[in-house]
Structure 1
Amino acid sequence: MIADPRIQKLVTLKTIAEMLNQSGGLTPELLSGVLEKLLALSGLTSGWILFIEETAFECASDFALPPALMAFDKAPMRCGSCWCVDRFRDGRLNRAVNILNCKRIEDAEENDWGDTQGITHHATVPLRSGDRKYGVLNVAAPGKVHFNDEELALLEGVAYQIGGAIERMRLYAAEQQRAALFAKLGVFSRTLSAAVATGRGDDERPPSRDLSAAAPGGAPASVSGRAVDAADSTADEDLEDPPCRLYPQAAVLIGEHFEWPFAALLTTEGETLTVRTVYANGRVTYADAAIPLADAPWLREAAQGRAHSVKPAEDAAALGALPELGGILSELHYLLAAPIPSGSARDAGLLLVGDKHGRKPDCAQGEVVEALGEHLAVVFEGAELEYNRRELARLTERNRLARDLHDSVSQMLFSLSMTAKGVESLLGREATAEALASVRDMQSLAQHALREMRALIMQLRPAGLEAGLATALAAYGAKLGLHITTRVTGLSTLPRTAEEALWRIGQEALNNVRKHAGCAEAEVHLQLLADTAVLRVSDRGAGIASGAAKDGSLGLSTMRERAQALGGRLTIAPSPGGGTAVEATVPLRHGPLSPRS
């Protein structure tokens, strides 16, 4: 037994330091042993250590608590608030202090939870390492209402040792977590890149914008395809931009490879943030819900910056207001956002993940989410380049085919027409009327075939479309023998997929005017709004039969399918001035339009 109290304190501090430097980790058992040594040295009886986060705290360890604080499986140590926790969070607890009374003891006495063993007060000291603080150390004894400076100094010395041990072990755990997360990132990157390289990103199509249920066993739902008519060779690729086709697959793979219960891919378009794909609890949702960036400045900061941003889920009011996200967000503690940068004209995207753990996500998670966003950006850019390469190859092939048709079939039909006309002139002097009629029929058929072939060539390579959709439709109408009046309002730029779809819808509408309207005049009105384009082709002819617009011929069905393939709609109704009006409305963004009542 060491007689000198000072030597005894030094030995005890040395013993505590040796305990805290064990390699087994900062376990509750280890901290309980530290508390036991400290209490024996100081002559106190009870102690507890609280680790405190911004929105939560936990009792990391305790020793010899009075029965009142152990009631209901130590509920008084897990719930509620107190002076030391409040002062720690607002930055006023910077050194060891006396606590006048313990609120947890007061609550236990008020609710008659058990014997307090005469404890009414405790001393508290912050656990810190440098500028970082982790929680508090509290000690108490029956009847003790004041702690002198020497006792507080001893508590601070032990608290610094505990704080230093916490810092070392947190750093070690963070490095282990960082290594594990980056290993998962490597597997995710290889999986997504392999999927894109093998064409799954092009072949898999998202289902309807409703919830897609997970497969049995927790596997994410597969992404189903849309049946495409063989004649519509470009329909599957023209529906959406390449990144949009990859959003669902990327969200599913994030859910497969990481432990985040929530992940969402968003895009920024001007001052609007749009939720594209959400992965939550093994399910994929296609939300297409819009949020003004002004309502979520922390997301604006993440989207426009190069670093991640963390926010308590309960403070993300702008996201919680969305029906698609409100349910899952109520289960999360923190949201972590990172940019998906874009090197092209496309607006930057945003990756948002959620964490159910009470602790604030550390730097390791932030770094991984940033790296994940950068990798997604590379994959999306690569997919877009590959998509453009295929588009260029397809357009080159179309032009080649159009030239071949013009140089071969079209020329032969023209020669047939000229030959028939020559035969007619030769036979006109001597041939019978029947022979002349047959030759005239041959000439008529050849001229009709020539007109049809030229129309097919125009559909393969829309001449004049570079001058604008309305101009190209006016030229096409003129070739059909129609007088076309055009009107264009708005200044938005039409994406190529929307322009080509509207071009073909307009072609069919003008063909119907020539065949069925009984008039030679039509009006083409193109209205370009901020997020939609409306093409209206109207005439003052005989009108459309009742029910025909709903039942529809093959041509009407094709027009409707083209509009719906882009998330738009087609309406056919009587024109106010008489006749028929065909109106196609398609979105210029990625979301579908709300159906008309």
Structure 2
Amino acid sequence: MAEDLHVQELATLKTIAETLNQSNDLNYMLDAVLDRLLEVTGLSFGWIFLAGKNNEYECVADRNLPPGLLYKEKQLMQCGSCWCLDRYYDGRLKNAVNILSCKRLEIAKAAKSGDTCGFTHHATVPLRIGERKFGLLNVGAPGKEHFTNEELALLQAVAFQIGIGVERMRLHEAEQRRAELFARLGEFSRSLTAAFSGEDAHSQLTERAMLLIGAHFNWPLLALAERSGHDFSVRMTRSGDQELASNIRIPITQAEWLVQASRTHSYQEIDISALSNEHELIGLFPPIQSAMAAPVAFGGNAAYGVLLIGHNKTDGLNQADGAVLEAIAEHMAIAFENARLEENRRELTRLEERNRLARDLHDSVSQMLFSISMTAKGVESFLEDNHLDTAKSAVKDMQVLSREALKEMRSLIMQLRPAGVEKGLLTALIEYGTRLGLQVNGQADGVLALTRTVEESLWRIGQEALNNVSKHAHSKKVDITLSVSSNDIVLSISDSGRGMVKKRKSAKLGSYGLSIMQERAEALGGRFRLTSLPQKGTTVEVIIPLSSDSEGRPREK
């Protein structure tokens, strides 16, 4: 008889093991296991609770519940405490035990919510692996008030198998989620880089990054708190696609958890009680059960910010979420640092531009004005000595010099901001070349809408190229071509002058003006090409890629 019982136990365990390996869907697997367990043991009803950290639980599978427990869509199975859960949470439930009576069945009977079909007792088995606990397995039958040691031992063995199955499922789900999160991280990183504009970059990047995180990741709560002096400024809080709050200041003394999170070098889990206890945060965050934070370093000023995510389930966030959150924070820090460096580069470019204008003023206008001044003194002495013819000749020289100085000054003023760019880039370049005395032939292919940054950069490149033609080419004919495709814009300026005496391998080896042109093109992610042959002219070509998000987009005619 004992041998038959042992064979039956082995057959039961084999059946359960086979069922556990048939699916990677946790709820489906537990439902199937419960069904097979009742079938092979001859028991009538049962349910499985998966339990969380904060005394929360979920009934993920049930079989043959009496009407009293099915009342109001199984309300008694979804809320309230009971003897088995109380012992589970306080650590007293270690192995399979007999439950003298079921509190839920007693409540259903007392409330007359439906027939309990003679069910009064059940056995309770904790689902665990070692010290890790997952929940409870409850099974029973009508009129059965006691389980033998052999029955409890079998249920305990089944519970161990279920625990292993749950762990396997959760590891599988975690790996799937990790792969999905890191795939989304790649999309986020590419989108964040493409969105960088360089103008008011910090605020733009903050807003763009928060929108992208909300779009690529399904965290119920997202917030960014920046360190500002003795406060934290919550720049933006999002729940799904809804912005909840922004620019709320929290004193450091009342947000110690933010201070600690900003001082770490990796993500960390946040104690939810730290959020609920801060009165400044009441009403700011929606109810959450779990949260993580990662530090974001802003630029080179040693200030820190914190990126926070939250979930409405205690097990809603895992290590994969933390690793991706940390990577997002690092990407944002790099983007902010790039924005800071870009702003520094722009400032240096502005300084270089001022220095160049100062040199041009000194080399041209200032020297002409000095010559006029000296000639005027000479005229004065000629008049005193009654040398009228010589004085008239000197006055004519002064007139020529003053016209040249005026022309040069107008040219320099035009370099600051052209008065015709609003008519179109090509039109402005043609008008500028004409004012320099050049014969300009312009041709455009496509109509383009550009940001001010791209427009001004192309204008200044073209302006410098036309100045070079005027001063050095010894030719008045210039061809300007502006062509647009779906991917880029090409500006080409060619002359048929004397060219360069020696072909340069790189524009960076040439004049200061050529170097500036190349730097302007590369700052927009473009390419600069200079082609020149002696007595065959020079061609300057600039190719700028177009971005539909930032720099410009072609439009239909």
Is the shorter-chain TM-score for this pair beyond 0.5, marking a shared fold?
yes
RMSD value over aligned CA atoms? 3.6
Q: How many aligned residue pairs are there?
A: 393
In structure 2, the CA distance between the partners of 1:288 and 1:408, relative to structure 1 (3 Å rule), is farther
- The one of 243, 246, 257 aligned to 1:287: 246
| 8 Å Cα contact 1:20-1:26 kept in structure 2 | no
In structure 2, the CA distance between the partners of 1:87 and 1:403, relative to structure 1 (3 Å rule), is farther
Give 1:62 deviation, angstroms: 0.9
1:94-133 to 2 correspondence within 5 Å?
Answer: 94-133=94-133
Give the distance between the partners of 2:93 and 2:123, measured in 1 at CA.
Answer: 12
Number of the residue aligned with 1:376: 332
SS in 2 for 1:251: helix
Give 1:148 deviation, angstroms: 3.8
In structure 2, the CA distance between the partners of 1:53 and 1:7, relative to structure 1 (3 Å rule), is same
In structure 2, the CA distance between the partners of 1:297 and 1:268, relative to structure 1 (3 Å rule), is same
SS in 1 for 2:195: helix
**CA-to-partner distance for each residue in 1:284-333, whole Å, 9 max, x for gaps?**
4772222234433333332211232334767523677348xx26x32544
Number of the residue aligned with 2:210: 251
1:85 alignment partner AA: L
SS in 1 for 2:238: strand
Q: 2:275 aligned with 1:316, yes or no?
A: yes
| 8 Å Cα contact 2:45-2:65 kept in structure 1 | yes
Number of the residue aligned with 1:205: none
In structure 2, the CA distance between the partners of 1:85 and 1:418, relative to structure 1 (3 Å rule), is farther
Give 1:272 deviation, angstroms: 2.8
Structure 2 stretches lacking a partner, 5+ long: 387-401, 403-408, 417-557
| 8 Å Cα contact 2:224-2:235 kept in structure 1 | yes
Give 1:413 deviation, angstroms: 5.6
- The one of 293, 296, 317 aligned to 1:340: 296
Number of the residue aligned with 1:38: 37
**CA-to-partner distance for each residue in 1:1-37, whole Å, 9 max, x for gaps?**
9981221111111111111111353334x43342244
Q: 2:195 aligned with 1:195, yes or no?
A: yes
| 8 Å Cα contact 1:299-1:309 kept in structure 2 | no
Relative to the length of structure 1, the TM-score reads 0.58
- Residues 61-70 or 409-418, more deviating: 409-418
Number of the residue aligned with 2:51: 52
Relative to the length of structure 2, the TM-score reads 0.62
Give 1:373 deviation, angstroms: 1.3
In structure 2, the CA distance between the partners of 1:292 and 1:95, relative to structure 1 (3 Å rule), is farther
2:210 alignment partner AA: A
Give the distance between the partners of 1:97 and 1:295, measured in 2 at CA.
Answer: 47
| 8 Å Cα contact 1:248-1:284 kept in structure 2 | no
1:249 alignment partner AA: R
Number of the residue aligned with 2:219: 260
Q: 2:297 aligned with 1:299, yes or no?
A: no
Give the distance between the partners of 1:89 and 1:368, measured in 2 at CA.
Answer: 31
Q: 2:183 aligned with 1:183, yes or no?
A: yes
| 8 Å Cα contact 1:51-1:59 kept in structure 2 | yes
SS in 1 for 2:117: coil
**CA-to-partner distance for each residue in 1:40-89, whole Å, 9 max, x for gaps?**
55453321100111243211101121221111111111122223333333
Q: 2:114 aligned with 1:155, yes or no?
A: no
In structure 2, the CA distance between the partners of 1:73 and 1:2, relative to structure 1 (3 Å rule), is farther
Give the distance between the partners of 1:271 and 1:42, measured in 2 at CA.
Answer: 66
Q: Which protein is bigger by CA-based radius of gyration?
A: 2
Give the distance between the partners of 1:157 and 1:122, measured in 2 at CA.
Answer: 17
- The one of 309, 315, 318 aligned to 1:359: 315
Give the distance between the partners of 1:398 and 1:243, measured in 2 at CA.
Answer: 26
| 8 Å Cα contact 1:243-1:380 kept in structure 2 | yes
Give 1:407 deviation, angstroms: 5.6
**CA-to-partner distance for each residue in 1:152-172, whole Å, 9 max, x for gaps?**
222211100000001111111
In structure 2, the CA distance between the partners of 1:415 and 1:277, relative to structure 1 (3 Å rule), is farther
Give the distance between the partners of 1:91 and 1:293, measured in 2 at CA.
Answer: 38
Structure 1 stretches lacking a partner, 5+ long: 203-236, 431-445, 447-452, 461-597
Give the distance between the partners of 1:27 and 1:312, measured in 2 at CA.
Answer: 29
- Residues 242-251 or 309-318, more deviating: 309-318
Number of the residue aligned with 1:576: none
Give 1:263 deviation, angstroms: 2.2
Q: 2:88 aligned with 1:88, yes or no?
A: yes
SS in 2 for 1:279: strand
Give the distance between the partners of 2:243 and 2:44, measured in 1 at CA.
Answer: 54
1:131 alignment partner AA: E
In structure 2, the CA distance between the partners of 1:425 and 1:280, relative to structure 1 (3 Å rule), is farther
SS in 2 for 1:348: strand
**CA-to-partner distance for each residue in 1:184-214, whole Å, 9 max, x for gaps?**
1111111111222xxxx33xxxxxxxxxxxx
